């Protein structure tokens, strides 16, 4: 065990010192003199959040399986410790060895949400590293990023040496191999980066140059050197069943946000909700085999001592062997006092039966995510559920004994009108009405409905990537409309309404579709106190507004404008398989309110089939004439894909798990 890097005086004066000492169950310790590569993996948020993240566990496991590499962890010091470290110039350290980050070969970030960007700079700053990659020296760690936000890495581009785009299982190891070999051969960092830039899934931002038209839009985005690829292809692990999955995940002492076994049952989604970035990024859907999941579940429960297991996927009901998997889990673990939790199920008889078996109905609530208040708007966003589905689902739940229902909606969706917003109140009331149709003797007390709305942020690689956003005041007006309408409903006392703050939405929107010109504003904001922006107590929009002003940035350029489909977008150089033509087609269909069937109903030719696996190749799903469906991308050059075998591949940058409170969710699909 390493003695804490921080003194007793510091550890005893900060909140929750256990965040900084490491030494958890299943933490990996190696002899640093016997490893070639030291990797510090960072989740730029507080320990309890970061420890709940599956992606880091996957990468931790993957890298530590290598005898030549020791992967450790680092999280954002909480503001109390941050202040002390700044004042006393104490360097940030990794949890396992308690060694300073500066001594590492790599500092890796998983970038899960836009509001963590100031925390990334915090970690660089406290580690004693320059913000900009050009400021860092030959001996400083290589700063590498992955995760959903790197599908538009541009606002962060000047800070990072490398972005890795895709599943880590596929091509992270070759990158580490290259580094190890070049380090041994005494090659320079620049030489390494130049070679790395040619590896699959690797984007080295310093080798690309952006230029702009007078109106501020992007005019070109090109490599600055001849042998650097023009496009970077997302890496996709096709055979998740044989890909390694952490059998001995870390178990924190402190209660983490997700304090349970997380079993990833599949990656990707067939649904094609037009607002959902994950649904497009992780195409095609890839299921893990039942046998693999059974083995993993048993082993992980045994190795962690957790008393709860949660299935993880974007839409669990679409896992074809879910009934068999549930049978297995209930039979083997329910009796051993292990709880089973099931997020993101669709409402149907099967899921309700399962829920009744695995949870205490009296205590739990069911969550539905209709996302929009009217059928018209649900069709625009391709939610794929009808009003009838919602009523049937809630009636089934009510008859099953539930009386608490949570409803999730988004506000500020493309084409949304007053009527759609008012529809949220009407739909909630209608669900209430259905409840009171049940004879009194069969009801379980009063009906309780909680309506939550969040404001929609258009994301890259979705059919809404061109859509305009709104100002803060507009968002708040939308929420006020909903509140007013709910107050006017007959059962308004049974309907609770809460909505998210709007400032964070605007900032998230700026970064989601921003470009590299935003980077100086992030530095300015961090230097003027921005930190933990995703925590409402610590978020100060005024710092950001000042930063934009100081850097000469009109942030509304990124939010209020509806982009034209022929505009070159900052993320167009990334190839996720799903083509731009498909997204344009979907954008048009959305505006007409026309729905697109899911991948198992009918292939819509999104382009993900080029990966050569997943749902696109399930038996019944191979269309007779595929060539007609293959789309040409917006770029002239089409990058061929190499099919890699997964046995030598391993991921994790990719995992996006919901944080926060987790109820056993039955939803009409997953929320954004």
Chain contacts with another protein (rule: CB under 8 A): 1-4, 7-9, 11-13, 17-18, 20-25, 27, 251, 253-255, 302-307, 337, 339, 360
Minimum distance between the CB of residue 50 and another protein, rounded to whole angstroms? 17
Alpha-helix residue ranges (DSSP H) falling in 463-518: 472-487, 503-512
Give the integer Cα–Cα distance in Å for 336 and 248.
19
Minimum distance between the CB of residue 38 and another protein, rounded to whole angstroms? 20
User: What would the two tokens of residue 488 be?
Assistant: 């006017």
Minimum distance between the CB of residue 128 and another protein, rounded to whole angstroms? 23
Q: Residue 516: what are its φ and ψ, rounded to 5°?
A: -70, -10
DSSP symbols for 209-272: EEEE-TTS-EEEEEESSTTS-SSEEPB--S-TTTS---SS--B-SSPPSS-SEEEE-EES-SS-
| CB closer to another protein out of 3 and 214 | 3
Nearest to 167 by CA among 72, 288, 295: 288
Torsion from C-alpha of 163, 168, 173, 176, nearest 10 degrees: 30
Residue 536 near residue 501 (C-beta atoms within 8 A): yes
Minimum distance between the CB of residue 243 and another protein, rounded to whole angstroms? 25
| CB closer to another protein out of 300 and 531 | 300
| CB closer to another protein out of 254 and 550 | 254
Minimum distance between the CB of residue 357 and another protein, rounded to whole angstroms? 12
Positive/negative CA dihedral, 76, 523, 113, 570? negative
Minimum distance between the CB of residue 16 and another protein, rounded to whole angstroms? 8
User: What would the two tokens of residue 151 be?
Assistant: 């599908």
User: What would the two tokens of residue 483 be?
Assistant: 């509140």
Minimum distance between the CB of residue 96 and another protein, rounded to whole angstroms? 11
Residues 6+ apart with CB under 8 A from 38: 32, 69, 70, 72, 103, 104, 105, 106
| CB closer to another protein out of 13 and 220 | 13
| CB closer to another protein out of 300 and 390 | 300
| CB closer to another protein out of 8 and 441 | 8
Give the integer Cα–Cα distance in Å for 323 and 109.
37
| CB closer to another protein out of 9 and 564 | 9
CB-based burial, 441-474: b 16+ in 10 Å, e otherwise: eebeeebbbbbbbbbbbbbbbbbbbbbebbeeee
| CB closer to another protein out of 23 and 415 | 23
Nearest-Å Rg of the Cα atoms of the chain is 24
Give the integer Cα–Cα distance in Å for 489 and 454.
21
Minimum distance between the CB of residue 396 and another protein, rounded to whole angstroms? 22
Minimum distance between the CB of residue 309 and another protein, rounded to whole angstroms? 12
| CB closer to another protein out of 12 and 185 | 12
458 preceded by a cis bond (ω within 30 of 0): no
| CB closer to another protein out of 17 and 612 | 17
Alpha carbon 328 to its chain's center: 29
Minimum distance between the CB of residue 493 and another protein, rounded to whole angstroms? 29
């Amino acid at each position: 065990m390493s003695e804490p890097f921080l003194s007793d005086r510091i550890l005893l004066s900060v909140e929750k010192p256990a965040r900084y000492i490491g030494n958890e169950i299943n933490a990996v310790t190696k002899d640093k003199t016997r490893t070639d590569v030291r990797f510090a993996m960072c989740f730029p948020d507080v320990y309890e959040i970061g420890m709940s993240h599956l992606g880091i566990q996957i990468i931790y496991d993957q890298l530590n399986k290598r005898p030549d590499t020791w992967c450790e962890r680092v999280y954002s010091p909480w503001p109390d410790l941050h202040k002390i470290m700044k004042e006393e110039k104490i360097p940030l350290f990794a949890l396992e060895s308690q060694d300073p980050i500066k001594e590492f070969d790599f500092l890796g970030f998983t970038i899960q949400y836009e509001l963590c960007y100031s925390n990334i700079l915090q970690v660089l700053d406290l580690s004693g590293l320059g913000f900009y990659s050009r400021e860092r020296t030959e001996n400083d760690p290589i700063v590498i990023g992955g995760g959903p936000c790197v599908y538009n890495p541009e606002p962060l581009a000047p800070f990072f040496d490398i972005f890795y785009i895709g599943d880590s299982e596929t091509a992270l190891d070759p990158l580490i191999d290259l580094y190890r070999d070049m380090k041994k051969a005494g090659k320079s960092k620049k030489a390494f980066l130049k070679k790395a830039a040619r590896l699959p899934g690797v984007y080295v931002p310093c080798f690309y140059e952006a230029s702009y038209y007078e109106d501020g839009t992007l005019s070109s985005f090109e490599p600055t050197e001849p042998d650097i690829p023009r496009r970077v292809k997302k890496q996709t692990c096709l055979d998740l069943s044989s890909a390694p999955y952490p059998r001995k995940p870390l178990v924190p002492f402190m209660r983490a946000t997700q304090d349970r076994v997380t079993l990833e049952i599949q990656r990707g989604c067939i649904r094609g909700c037009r607002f959902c970035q994950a649904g497009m990024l992780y195409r095609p859907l890839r299921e893990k085999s039942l046998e693999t999941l059974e083995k993993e579940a048993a082993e992980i429960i045994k190795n962690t001592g957790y008393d709860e297991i949660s299935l993880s996927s974007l839409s669990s009901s679409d896992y074809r062997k879910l009934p068999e998997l549930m049978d297995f889990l209930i039979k083997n673990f329910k009796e051993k006092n292990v709880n089973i939790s099931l997020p993101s199920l669709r409402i149907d008889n099967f899921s309700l039966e399962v829920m009744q078996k695995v949870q205490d109905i009296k205590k739990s609530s069911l969550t539905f995510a209709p996302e929009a208040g009217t059928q018209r708007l649900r069709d625009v966003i391709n939610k794929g559920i009808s009003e009838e589905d919602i009523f049937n689902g809630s009636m089934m739940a009510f008859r099953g004994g539930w009386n608490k229902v949570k409803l999730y909606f988004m506000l500020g969706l493309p084409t949304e009108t007053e009527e759609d917003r008012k529809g949220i109140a009407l739909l909630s009331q209608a669900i209430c009405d259905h409840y009171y149709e049940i004879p009194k003797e069969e009801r379980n007390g009063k009906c309780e409905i909680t309506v939550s709305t969040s404001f929609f942020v258009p994301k890259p690689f979705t059919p809404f990537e061109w859509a305009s956003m709104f100002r803060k005041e507009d968002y708040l007006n939308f929420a006020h409309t909903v509140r007013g309408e709910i107050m006017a409903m007959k059962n308004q006392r049974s309907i609770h309404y809460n909505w998210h703050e709007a400032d964070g939405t605007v900032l998230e929107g700026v970064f989601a579709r921003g470009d590299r010109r935003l980077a100086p504003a992030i530095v300015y904001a961090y230097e003027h106190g921005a930190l933990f922006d995703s925590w409402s107590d610590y978020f100060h929009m005024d710092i950001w507004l000042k930063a934009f002003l100081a850097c000469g940035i009109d942030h509304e350029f990124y939010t209020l404008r509806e982009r034209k489909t022929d505009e070159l977008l900052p993320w167009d150089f990334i190839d996720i398989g799903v083509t731009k033509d498909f997204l344009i087609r979907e954008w048009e269909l959305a505006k007409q309110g026309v729905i697109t069937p899911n991948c198992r109903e009918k292939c819509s030719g999104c382009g993900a089939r080029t990966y050569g696996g997943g749902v696109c190749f399930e038996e019944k799903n191979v269309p007779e004439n595929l060539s007609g469906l293959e789309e040409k991308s917006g770029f002239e050059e089409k990058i061929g894909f190499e099919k890699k075998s997964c046995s030598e591949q391993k991921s994790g940058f990719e995992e996006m798990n919901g944080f926060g409170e987790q109820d056993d969710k039955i939803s009409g699909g997953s929320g954004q």
